Amino acid sequence: MGNHAPRRPPPIEPESALHPPEPAPEPAALEAGRLLFAQECRFIAAAAEAEALPQEILPEVAFLGRSNVGKSSLLNALVGRNALARVSDTPGRTRQVVFFALRRLMLVDLPGYGFAAAPKDEIRRWSRLVPLYIKGRAGLKRVLVLIDSRHGFKPADRDFMTLLDQAAVSYQIVLTKLDRAPPDVLAANLAAMTAELASHVAAHPQMHLTSAHEGLGIAELRAALAALA
């Protein structure tokens, strides 16, 4: 998968989209991303309590989003594997903070927020754990906040964005399921989200547009994460 020519997201129409997605990386950056994610990606730990979080040994990038937004699919697409992270149509499958290590970067899969098919005590536990992780990891370089490109920001997304602003943790919006979004809906959502991001002090001003199913934007996201490593 990593050796295929990268697929760029389609152009966004109309011009009411205030900002484009991330500019196309230079070939050297794309190659650095390909090489990083071509490495073995190892499972390190799964923590259900703060005390079980592993020692910080690498720079970390965390993946955060509503239940069923496509976190596991995106992680699998980035590393070119089908089963690194569990994929399910049932919201709430990721019930712990899960750590996967590349040679120079730790990928952290956080439990989804919003509706989840899980016992209430588990939901309460991970609802406490995720903010503790976000506020307490010195090596956390960026949080990728995944948003379904068909829907834009929801109240629960805004709650976590405010938490990240208050914690002064850098974060960037990654739109998922680009292949399922009608162009007019996507353009309207991009314009609204970009305008709203201007009021969030810890947010990166530009967004990544991705489709794990079609491979859109994956090479560009790899390049951006390689730069953080």
- Residue 173 pairs with which residues in a beta bridge? 145
pLDDT value, residue 196: 96
Half-sphere exposure of residue 129, counting CA atoms within 13 Å on the CB side? Answer: 25
Residues 168, 135, 155, CA angle at the centre, nearest 5°? 75
Taking 80 as the threshold, does the pLDDT of residue 15 lie above it?
no
Half-sphere exposure of residue 164, counting CA atoms within 13 Å on the CB side? Answer: 29
pLDDT value, residue 95: 73
Which has the minimum average pLDDT: 15-19, 51-55, 59-63, 78-82? 15-19
Q: Rg of the chain's alpha carbons, rounded to an integer?
A: 16
Structural class in CATH, domain 27-228? alpha beta
CA-to-CA distance for 21 and 175, rounded, in angstroms? Answer: 10
Please compute the mean of the pLDDT values over residues 31-44 and round it to a whole number: 95
What six digits make up the tokens of 125?
A: 């536990």
First to last CA, the chain: 21
Which is more confidently placed, 52 or 114?
A: 52
Please compute the mean of the pLDDT values over residues 84-107 and round it to a whole number: 72
The one-letter amino acid code at 27 reads: P
Q: What global pTM score does this model have?
A: 0.85
pLDDT value, residue 119: 55
pLDDT tens for each residue of 125-174? 657 888 999 999 999 999 999 999 999 999 999 999 999 999 999 999 99
What six digits make up the tokens of 35?
A: 């090489």
70: left (phi over 0), alpha (psi -120 to 50) or beta: left
CA-to-CA distance for 143 and 183, rounded, in angstroms? Answer: 27
Taking 60 as the threshold, does the pLDDT of residue 87 lie above it?
no
Tell me the three state secondary structure of residue 15: coil
**Burial class, 198, CB count within 10 angstroms (exposed 0-12 / middle 13-18 / buried 19+):** exposed
| Cβ pair 41, 34 in contact under 8 A | no
CA-to-CA distance for 33 and 218, rounded, in angstroms? Answer: 10
Taking 80 as the threshold, does the pLDDT of residue 114 lie above it?
no
Query: What are the residue ranges spanned by the domains of the chain?
Result: 27-228
